[in-house]
Amino acid sequence: MTVGQTTTLRISDPDAVAPEVEGAAVVLIAVANVTGSDAREWEVRAVETGTSTIVGDHRDPSWKITFVVEE
């Protein structure tokens, strides 16, 4: 990703633990669910150069996504 770029993280399990970000390169911004679905969404926004990892659940890391952000 480049600084200022965004993408969407969507979790279809309404009971899933909210993801956490390790690192300062991206931030997660919760998106309001106006469609009435059980899915949860976040905007992933690249805010500075570096690397961040989004983790599904620190107690049991069922998934991780690593983002590398450049200028």
Question: Residue 25: what pLDDT?
Answer: 98
In the predicted model, is pLDDT for residue 58 greater than 80? no
What is the mean predicted confidence (pLDDT) over 25-39? 86
Place of tokens 């979790």: 11
Helix (H, G, I), strand (E, B) or coil at 71: coil
What Cα–Cα distance (Å) separates residue 11 from each residue in 29, 41, 49, 64?
14, 6, 26, 13
pTM metric for this prediction: 0.88
CA–CA gap between residue 18 and residue 41 (Å, rounded): 10
Three-state SS for 35-51 is CCCCCEEEEEEECCCEE
What is the mean predicted confidence (pLDDT) over 20-37? 89
R_g of the chain, CA atoms, integer Å: 12
Confidence class for position 34, pLDDT limits 50, 70, 90: low
Most confident among 8-17, 28-37, 42-51, 60-69 (mean pLDDT): 42-51
Per-domain residue ranges for the chain? 6-69
